[in-house]
Chains A and B, each alone.
Chain A
Amino acid sequence: MHPAFSVIFLTTLIGVGQGLFLALFTVESYSAFGLLPPQPSRFYALGSAVALGFLVAGLVASFFHLGHPERAWRSAAKWRTSWLSREVIVLPAFMGTVCLYGAAHFSGFNPVLATLPSGAPVNVTAMLGVAGTVLAFALFVCTGMIYACLRFLQEWHTPLTVINYILLGGASGFVLACALAAVAAQEVSGFLGVWAMILTALAFIGRVASLLRNARLRPKSGLRTAIGIKHPHIAQKAQGAMGGSFNTREFFHGRSAAFLKRVKWVFLLLVFALPLGLLAGGFASAAFFIQYLGLIAERWFFFAQANHPQNLYYQAVS
């Protein structure tokens, strides 16, 4: 597939936003149960604003992918069948929840709604946080399933796609939360740093698992089933157009296999190895910056690696 930067930025940016929100609510939940010291509302408000910024940036990036962005509202229609439509519904719902969560912390409007038997208070931000957590995971599933549900894109058609979207988004969000905590809530910086390292390590396992899986894939389709002629030697001599077509532009990345291999090593280094080292050294901001750059490479590779069966029909110009 040809990697589109609009989609690369959409998926990586909203992943950071979702992960950051999950990190914020993790801290709040731990504090509610007395496992962490309570943090100032400023930290949550700032974090929510940053998360919202990433989500909005991702949403803006997605519009560049559309031929008719003014009709984007129509895409909420087919949520019964289309994961893309579901994502279009869940993303604004999640953004709204993050906004309310941040606003509640910022304004200090946080009445206790109920008290758990253990004595832990259930307040408005806790309820918003639970709703936001559900929506964040729903959004990860929607984003991942957009790719995982296409059964003939064999590189994507695996539960690992969804798992990696969750883990990579979560990791980058926790790394950013750790960087923010260094500014606004030093007490939880170490806690977030450890979680960021754990998630980065888990994401590494998930991504390497999908790389290993994809390296062993055998394409289900070949020229024989594509044109229905049972012969071991079939070669294309003409594809019906000399100057290329949508089919040659959209489904080929146009780079060499060596370039792809280099991108793979670059993202393995930038997304996993370097951030782990930087986090261990306490440089959370640098870790986030490097990891986000790496995620752009990772997503580029994710798209470029997918081999669409339609490419069988576009092997030779003439």
Chain B
Amino acid sequence: MTQLALVIDLNVCVGCHACVTSCKEWNTSGQAGPLSDFNPYGANPTGTFFNRVQTFEVGEFPNTETVHFPKSCLHCEEPPCVPVCPTGASYKRAEDGIVLVDYDKCIGCKYCSWACPYGAREIDEQQKVMKKCTLCVDRIYDASLPEIDRKPACVKACPTSARLFGDVHDPESEVSKAIRESGGYQLMPEWGTQPANHYLPRRKTQLRIHEDELVRADNPLKVDGKLPKPAKAEPSLDDVTSW
């Protein structure tokens, strides 16, 4: 069974919000209607987003680290938001595991948002229905797009390739390998929601350089004069030095 998901590499994310803007651009332009904004150019702009990048500071000054943390629907394998929906507007697709909202059935009771511990769902104040990340379901199956473009808008936009997209149930997929090899983890595992999206942790990249590696022993600039000619009987390195 397929379970499509995102894997987000916190070690690579630079917090540029390109995934946020590309997500908004793609999903506000679709046939499902806009992701409404209110007061967009005023003092307190607000609106509906599927994806947000948050920033956390880890550690105490001066030993701190800034972590940029993109957050969107995690497409849980046990989604707590789905069974509470009274109309069946909120559902998880059997074929690919994407959790979706049927905007035509949603009554806007907000109960599903109460049932999501991650705050992944946001109501559209204009359309009065609950909205959330669709994994760009209108894009990833669009056969009119070139194969390479059939990915969520956020994944395509990420300049550092911090976002990977694929089937986490296929052990040979790019995302499964990344989870396996880079210590991918789930958010709030204590609630048993089994999020399909995984995060890759920050990794310390350390390189050990020895003193003598900093200076080229055979640096030609350091040659003051001609090197003494080796004797013919001496062993040679190669044809250049042997005659």
Contacts and interface: CB of A to CB of B under 8 A. Distances in A.
Interface of A: 1, 65-69, 71-72, 74-78, 81-85, 88, 146, 149-153, 220-221, 223, 225-229, 231, 233-247, 250-251, 308-311, 313-314
Contact of B55 (A1, A223, A238): A238
A71 B127 CA distance: 13
Contacts of B66: 237
A254 to B, nearest CB: 14
A82 B88 CA distance: 9
B122 A246 contact: yes
B88 A77 contact: yes
Contacts of A83: 84
B228 to A, nearest CB: 60
6 contacts: A65-B110, A151-B80, A225-B190, A236-B55, A243-B42, A244-B46
A71 B128 CA distance: 12
Contact of B185 (A151, A221, A228, A247): A228
Contact of B86 (A75, A235, A251): A75
B86 A76 contact: yes
Contact of B117 (A229, A239, A309): A309
A76 B109 CA distance: 13
A84 B111 contact: yes
A55 B234 CA distance: 108
Interface in B77-107: 80, 82-89, 105-107
B20 A225 contact: no
B59 interface: yes
A67 B106 contact: yes
Contact of B119 (A68, A150, A251): A251
A313 B128 contact: no
Identify the interface centre among A150, A220, A244: most chain B CB within 10 Å of its CB.
A150
Given A65-B109, A235-B57, A227 B48 contact: no
A187 to B, nearest CB: 44
Nearest to A223: B56
Identify the interface centre among B48, B52, B117: most chain A CB within 10 Å of its CB.
B117
B119 A310 contact: yes
A71 B86 CA distance: 11
B109 A82 contact: no
A313 B119 contact: yes
Contacts of B55: 236-238
Contact of A78 (B39, B88, B110, B116): B88
B59 A220 contact: no
Interface in B186-216: 186-191, 199, 201-202
B236 interface: no
Contacts of B143: none
Contacts of A220: 190-191
In the complex, the 9 A-B pairs of residues with the closest C-beta atoms, listed nearest first: A67-B108, A67-B128, A310-B119, A240-B52, A243-B44, A75-B86, A85-B86, A81-B83, A238-B55
A237 B82 CA distance: 31
B123 A84 contact: no
B58 A84 contact: no
B210 to A, nearest CB: 32
Identify the interface centre among B42, B47, B83, B129: most chain A CB within 10 Å of its CB.
B83
Nearest to B120: A310
A66 B129 CA distance: 9
Contacts of A150: 80, 84, 114-115
B111 A314 contact: no
Contact of B202 (A88, A151, A229): A229
A66 B107 contact: yes
A201 B164 CA distance: 58
Contacts of B52: 239-241, 245
Contacts of B26: none
Contacts of B108: 66-68
Nearest to B191: A152
A11 to B, nearest CB: 14
Contact of A153 (B69, B114, B202): B114
Contacts of A221: 117, 188, 190-191
B83 to A, nearest CB: 4
